[in-house]
Amino acid sequence: MLLPHSSLIISALFSLSAPRCLANEHAHESRYEPAWNGYTPPGTETPTHFTPYFVPDGAVSYDSQSPFVHYKGKWMDSYSSRFVGGSSRKTNERGASFSLHFTGTGIEWFGSTGPRYGVAEVLLDGRLAERVDVRAAHKHFQQRLYWQFGLTNEEHSLTVTHVAPEGDHDRYTVIDVDAFVVYKGLGPPKHGARPQPHPHELIAAGPAQAAQAAPAPLPGWELVQKGTTGVAAMQLAIVSRTHAIIIDKVEHNPLTANHHPAWGALYNFETHTLTALNMKSNSFCAGGAFVSNGTLVNSGGNGIYGDNAGTGYFGQTDGPQAVRLLEPCEAANAAGCDIYEDQEHIRLASPRWYSTSVRIQDGSVMIIGGSKRGGWMNNATTNNPTIEYFPPKNIHGANGTPLHLQFFVDTLNSNLFPIAFLLPDGRIFLAANRDATIYDWKKDTEERLPRIPNGVRVTYPMTGTGVLLPLTPENNYAPEVLICGGSTLDDTKEPHEFSAKDPASDQCARLLLTPEGIKSGWQVEHMPQPRMMPDAVLLPTGAVVIINGAGSGISGYANVREKVGMSNADNPVRAAVLYEPGAPAGRRFSQGLPESVIPRMYHSTATATPNGDIMIAGSNPNLDRSEVAYGTEYRVEWLRPPYMRGQRPEIVDAPRMMNFGERVKVRVKIPEILRGKPVKGEFSMFSLRWHGLG
């Protein structure tokens, strides 16, 4: 049963869609720090303005003076170094318009905003798309005034007309044209036809593999493409009944906040509208979890960095010790909801890049492992083998400082973004590299578990995924973990020794965390396809959907041989598989779910929503926004299980908050079709308010 009260499910949802990140694109030459990927290009020592105008690799820019732009009415030229190309074209005549015919999958219009500016009507392919209000208290240049992605790859027209603001027909107003950016055909081809395979996707296959590549469709499943995220969905979590939060690294996203590109947003999954978040620090490779009052704690990240396009440093503040807070946001229009940061007063005790966060039983967040600075693969010089808490704890004599955990020394080098789950007894399951342990945070002790079989590494950059399987009366609420995908590559090799063609692992390993289960060891199964960087989503039925990922390569970008564009991985796996934990061994995987046309690999995410469907977003194996092969992806897809069209139980009354261990009553409306069938289980939830915190 899916609870509509999102505060009851969001902590689980966030952990299922952990981000996968990389710092920068050029390997350091030092043999003493072979993992370090930090890079500062020449000429970027002085910070520069982070303007919305940006032309990604693979896109095309048209200046206001371009002969492809057609004007009607009176237009005047303005010249300034603050304009793209040194000039713009403006009008104060109501009814004046411009138009651009283009072929591609997206369009952006850039211009100025200010106190003397007005309102424009935008027509896309002859239909009213938006009324754009370009009025602002102060003048701002190179602003993104309108954008639209996800178009079919064919000819389109954009027409913009200057109109009077509502109720203001006499005031002098202006609109202008500075430039356009057109995205050239990386989306679906004309009329949504199935694209031909990319050359890098052609894998030699025998007859058995070819037959397996086209399984019979599972009845009732739907995959729908609707909406765009505005910022690349590196991290994704449900924060209310109507909204998901999307967090990216600092880059030139199309959504704007405070007159610069945003790297955080709230997505309304009922209306498919966006609210930009005013992020301050670079959240590249941050982690996150929810404390017991529903506040999201997003922590860590990367420093301010430059790119090789000459835009200089474009983060506002460093991210490795940042703590970003989003308090519970219940407004249907996200009014008043924003990220709060104050590093002078609230910050991590140590820098963390690629750490994992998990809420523990007292309602606080444990922040686990990571690296002290951005890199590609961890090593002893960058490793942060510690845990800390938010809010800080005076525990085991640490007095709020980090506590050493030997597990993260023993699991070098591939141990970033460890897999972590809170267990029913309050201890924490941890997996990193090829190893696993159970950590008792109250006693500061470990119970080492059997090694993950067959040499498979499961954490970044050999990224797999994990899920804590359902706790049910049938299994006496015994915890059992499932870890799928990853790689058997040697994590001591140099970057140039890896290839985007190196095969991923198809292994799923399952461990029952009881004394008997641990003694029996991991039970090995195999997915229908190998996957690097998959996501696992637990459905309200108890089944697991494994989705996204690549069939070969390794996580990250710009490190290995035979990379595609900047992607270290290749051969995207576009079809999800269904895993039924309660089915007999050997019959748990089902194929035939709808196949996407969108490759989703590095920085892709998926999560269940309060409606019970799966939101799928992201993919960006690039330093900045890009339109090259495996470029930055903003389209959203929705995977809808068969139960979306059937009758389901409905929670009609439930408390908004409950204390840890408290017994509560929940009123449920049972459809006629389910009446008479037994309903098992009771609710005993962890604290959902500030309770017992020091």
Structure confidence at residue 512 (pLDDT)? 98
Lookup: tokens for 353: 């890049």
CA distance 432 to 414: 7
Residue 588 forms part of a structural domain: yes
Residue 671 forms part of a structural domain: no
CA distance 559 to 694: 44
**Mean predicted confidence (pLDDT) in 322-343:** 93
**Model pTM?**
0.88
- C-alpha closest to that of 420 among 10, 7, 16: 16
**Mean predicted confidence (pLDDT) in 484-488:** 98
Say if residue 37 is in the same domain as residue 123: no
Give the three-class secondary structure for 222: strand
Say if residue 125 is in the same domain as residue 270: no
**Mean predicted confidence (pLDDT) in 646-664:** 84
Mean of the per-residue pLDDT values for the chain? 86
How many residues would you count in the chain? 694
Structure confidence at residue 373 (pLDDT)? 85
Question: In sequence order, what DSSP letters do the residues of 635-694 get, joined into one string?
Answer: EEEEEE-GGGGS---EEEE--S---TT-B---EEEPPGGGTTS------BPPP-SS-S--
- Radius of gyration for the alpha carbons in the chain, expressed in angstroms and rounded: 25
Structure confidence at residue 142 (pLDDT)? 95
Domain count, the chain: 2
Structure confidence at residue 427 (pLDDT)? 98
pLDDT tens per residue, range 587-601: 999 999 999 999 999
CA distance 664 to 126: 55
Structure confidence at residue 620 (pLDDT)? 95
**Mean predicted confidence (pLDDT) in 605-626:** 95
CA distance 81 to 450: 63
Residue 49 forms part of a structural domain: no
Residue 667 forms part of a structural domain: no
CATH number, domain containing residue 481: 2.130.10.80
Residue 158 forms part of a structural domain: yes
Say if residue 547 is in the same domain as residue 586: yes
**Mean predicted confidence (pLDDT) in 141-168:** 89
| Residue 430: CB atoms within 10 Å | 27
pLDDT tens per residue, range 76-132: 999 999 999 999 999 999 999 999 999 999 999 999 999 999 999 999 999 999 999
**Mean predicted confidence (pLDDT) in 381-404:** 96
Say if residue 364 is in the same domain as residue 264: yes
pLDDT tens per residue, range 39-79: 333 344 455 678 899 999 889 999 999 999 999 999 999 99
* Least confident piece of the model among 193-197, 232-236, 514-518, 657-661: 193-197
**Mean predicted confidence (pLDDT) in 512-516:** 97
Structure confidence at residue 61 (pLDDT)? 96
503 prior amide bond cis, ω within 30: no
pLDDT tens per residue, range 257-274: 999 999 999 999 999 999
pLDDT tens per residue, range 356-366: 999 999 999 99
pLDDT tens per residue, range 182-222: 998 654 444 333 333 443 333 333 333 434 557 899 999 99
Asked if 260 contacts 51 with a C-beta cutoff of 8 angstroms, the reply is yes
Lookup: tokens for 5: 């009260």
Residue with tokens 């090829």: 434
Say if residue 90 is in the same domain as residue 12: no
**Mean predicted confidence (pLDDT) in 532-556:** 97
Say if residue 11 is in the same domain as residue 70: no
**Is the pLDDT at 660 greater than 90, yes or no?**
no
Say if residue 63 is in the same domain as residue 103: yes
CA distance 574 to 344: 44
**Mean predicted confidence (pLDDT) in 444-465:** 98
Q: Which of 140, 164, 185 lies at the terminal end of a domain, its last residue?
A: 185
Structure confidence at residue 304 (pLDDT)? 73
Say if residue 31 is in the same domain as residue 66: no
Instruction: Determine the structural domain holding residue 91 and report its residue range.
Output: 59-185
Say if residue 134 is in the same domain as residue 236: no
CATH number, domain containing residue 174: 2.60.120.260
Say if residue 33 is in the same domain as residue 154: no
Structure confidence at residue 34 (pLDDT)? 36
Q: Which residue has the higher pLDDT, 275 or 193?
A: 275
Residue 615 forms part of a structural domain: yes
Say if residue 230 is in the same domain as residue 136: no
Residue 203 forms part of a structural domain: no
**Mean predicted confidence (pLDDT) in 478-486:** 98
CA distance 193 to 216: 20
Type and span of the H or E element at 518? helix 515-520
State what percent of residues in the chain have pLDDT above 90: 73
Say if residue 70 is in the same domain as residue 37: no
Residue 278 forms part of a structural domain: yes
pLDDT tens per residue, range 365-391: 999 999 998 778 999 999 999 999 999
Structure confidence at residue 612 (pLDDT)? 95
pLDDT tens per residue, range 46-55: 556 788 999 9
